[in-house]
Structure 1
Amino acid sequence: MDADAIIIGAGACGLMCAVQAGYLGKKIILLEKSDKPGAKILISGGGRCNYTNLFASDEQFISNNKHFTKSAFTQWTVDDTVSFFETYGIAGKEKTLGQLFPDGKNAKDVVAVFTEICADFGQRIICDTEVTNIEHLEDGFSVKYTKDGNVKVLKVPKLVIATGGLPIPKMGATDFALRFARKHKLNIIETAPALVPLTITGKDEEWYTQLSGNSVFCEVSNDEISFEENILFTHWGLSGPAILQISSYWRRGEEINIDLLPRQHIVDLIEVERKENGKLLLSTFLNRIYPKKFTEALSKFLPIDKQVASLTKAELESIDKTIHFFKVKPAGDKGYDKAEVMRGGIDTNSISSKTLECKQIPGLFFGGECVDVTGWLGGYNFQWAWASGFVIAQNL
């Protein structure tokens, strides 16, 4: 099979790379471990696919090199993503915080855009393959893979590794890229689950379990960053958008702070109530702000059966501390099975930010999640996948 490059991994980055290479007249072979391309795209956003974020910039990404994504995001912008999908019949509909979803369509339609363009260009997508060996030759690469029990070898001048990260093993995620990088003495930034629910164990576990299913709008923060969105109590700890966001910055053993009323001051609201209706029970007051079950759970920390007028200064201070400085020390996270992305990955110092070509191995490119680039929740990681796929295609 005559091709200009092999792309290992037909996910978001690999598919975009194949399509963009097709525009440039380059022939591509995609080798995909799963039984269909775009497996992770298909489950994203519950099948609705939050395919970019209108506010995406290098500021919303975690990497040892915070400037690494700037070049890629200059070469392929959010406007480019929006225009690309609009050209193929997918208009964006903004949800919260700049999140863009297909209007009236879904993840299957997003994947179909890529597979149809690949078919038009004659780009070959070979699924159910297992790459077993890669050799770096003087004039390119030799890729050995198995399909249907048969061993095949392809030789190409350029190679792209876009096999993703470790999250969701049942969707075919593997450590292929990381193993390849280690074998070739490339540095790996320590990996961990990111955008992942956090677990609570020990003496506090029962308190969180009783609140399972309750959601509260909060500001969740640590020493580095803060996020204002909902948190969700579960029978094993905490989830919800704000928790998933902070999880990418959390390290085991650290505390996080939860402000349970981020845009108002609880004591100021109580003082107003004391003047207008001092006989009001604190529980009734709190029920106006929180679900009843959450108010009942707060009885562990607060005198919710007292009238607001009779609250002492010490009690008001306790209320202030509980509501605005609720400290949580997670035991851990739910792991790669529940994580949306991987933090860490192949060190960006090994990769050109302008071309995404490996500095130590000319002709080899890394893109997408296997690189030490981790975006926030809300379409940011897709924007990195599209941008890195585009950049690589320009340099094949």
Structure 2
Amino acid sequence: MSIFPNSDICETSVMSTNLVKQTDFDAIIIGGGACGLMCAVQAGFLGKRVLVLEKNDRVGAKILISGGGRCNYTNLYATDQQFISQNPHFCKSAFSQWTVDDTISFFETYGITGKEKTLGQLFPVSDKAKDVVEVFTNLCDDLGQEIWVNAEVKMVEKTDDGFTVRAEVNGKQEYISAASVVMAAGGLPIPKMGATDFGLRTARNFGLKVTDTAPALVPLTITGKDQPWYEQLSGNSIFCRVWNDRASFEENILFTHWGLSGPAILQISSYWKPGESINIDLLPNQNIAGLIQQEKETNGKKMLLAYIASLYTRKFAEALSDKLPAEKNMASLTKTDIENISTLIHDFKVKPAGDKGYDKAEVMRGGVSTDELSSKTLEAKKVPGLFFGGECVDVTGWLGGYNFQWAWASGFVIAQNI
């Protein structure tokens, strides 16, 4: 039986927690997000009984808002290569145990067929993230897994025969015991949805190292004298290549009144550190010098501004004009002019002032150190029975369904070992 007071995910009877204090749970799962829900379901398939404790008034809050409410629940091209970690090999074991094909088959079995969109992103045909959440809530109901919402965990304590968890459930203190505890409490992004550092604090309380954390997949800000230039372009979206010395992405960037966003910027933000610059090729896969030379020969009277406007929006071309010899026609452009234009277009440099922080970040970089966990089981080496999965671990994926694939895989792996 599950508990979902005030939830529109599914309707089940509300059960008093007084009836279910210290029962025969094999594990307590802290966090009812992607990792925690998958863990609960997979444990149920193995005949294990778990309790999921979710701080919010419903489970799957981040699932519900992902992909604009459509949920890109995996990526067809997901491998260990699209993940950032102090140990880039750590996630290989989990991905060998639970593959992208496993994710696709799992959801198809329970009525969700995927459709591919940009760059391998897989969305439900229905375009409804709630359908993904309902797969888990329905299965938890069928499998007899407990889910308590409005349940904020305050303490996790090791005991002789397992763990005791103290939680405030609908304003009342409850103590629950189990042999294992799964920390699937997520990361720091979107605090207004209940995100906290509880998973990281718990790790530290047990003497586990935590890799430095930072917002990832997050918009970047521009301040000072350059800000007005970006403000005037707010709303303009351009396909670009964005790179630094660690990564490169070809997708759209979006100019905003405070800086830069869009898929390519979110991607590179995971590889960016304060004080560094990023490079943008505003016309990837083409050669502006060659294009200008052709135009000089065929339409030399055309003004450079008009030509640039034919490649971009008029507004963007006008914004670039203060950085270009815009008053010249094509025929009068010198070799130096063309070299300067090429540098501007193909190597546009930006030095962000910062990022928009955890309020706007999609995920967190860093987390519980992979040195502390078994890659095969995700159990803490120093604390038998304590497992960490999902976003609170130092495994951060690219934009586009990769982080969900890690959540599903880590939830599956933990379920096999609790």
- Normalised by the length of structure 1, the TM-score is 0.99
Q: Which residue of 1 aligns with 2:80?
A: 58
Deviates more, 1:306-315 or 1:77-86: 306-315
Q: Which residue of 2 aligns with 1:87?
A: 109
- Which residue, 292, 314, 339 being the options, matches 2:361? 339
Aligned-residue Cα RMSD (Å) equals 0.6
- Which residue, 128, 133, 145 being the options, matches 1:106? 128
Q: Which residue of 2 aligns with 1:236?
A: 258
Q: Which residue of 1 aligns with 2:375?
A: 353
Q: What is the 5 A alignment of 1:188-207?
A: 188-207=210-229
Structure 1 position 224 matched with structure 2 position 246: yes
CA contact (8 A) 2:217 2:363 kept: yes
CA contact (8 A) 2:71 2:127 kept: no
Q: Which residue of 2 aligns with 1:383?
A: 405
**Code of the aligned partner of 1:58:** D
Please state how far the C-alpha of 1:271 moved relative to its aligned partner.
Answer: 0.4
- Which residue, 289, 297, 302 being the options, matches 1:280? 302
Secondary structure of the 1:288 match is: helix
Q: What is the 5 A alignment of 1:167-316?
A: 167-316=189-338
Give runs of ≥4 in structure 1 deviating > 6 Å: none
Q: Can you list the C-alpha shifts for 1:353-382, whole angstroms capped at 9, x where unaligned?
A: 000000010011000000000000000000
Please state how far the C-alpha of 1:149 moved relative to its aligned partner.
Answer: 2.2
Aligned residues: 396
CA contact (8 A) 1:78 1:383 kept: yes
Structure 1 position 132 matched with structure 2 position 163: no
CA distance in 1, matches of 2:404, 2:414: 15
CA contact (8 A) 2:69 2:127 kept: no
CA distance in 1, matches of 2:171, 2:224: 49
CA contact (8 A) 2:280 2:349 kept: yes
CA distance in 1, matches of 2:42, 2:126: 25
Q: Can you list the C-alpha shifts for 1:78-101, whole angstroms capped at 9, x where unaligned?
A: 000000000011000000100000
Structure 1 position 30 matched with structure 2 position 49: no
Q: Which runs of 5+ in 1 are unaligned?
A: none
Deviates more, 1:158-167 or 1:300-309: 300-309
Please state how far the C-alpha of 1:105 moved relative to its aligned partner.
Answer: 3.9
CA contact (8 A) 2:156 2:166 kept: yes
Secondary structure of the 2:409 match is: helix
Please state how far the C-alpha of 1:300 moved relative to its aligned partner.
Answer: 1.3
CA distance in 2, matches of 1:125, 1:149: 16
Please state how far the C-alpha of 1:272 moved relative to its aligned partner.
Answer: 0.5
CA contact (8 A) 1:7 1:14 kept: yes
CA distance in 1, matches of 2:118, 2:52: 34
- Normalised by the length of structure 2, the TM-score is 0.94
Structure 1 position 15 matched with structure 2 position 37: yes
CA distance in 2, matches of 1:228, 1:201: 25
Secondary structure of the 2:340 match is: helix
CA distance in 2, matches of 1:379, 1:12: 12
CA distance in 1, matches of 2:170, 2:190: 24
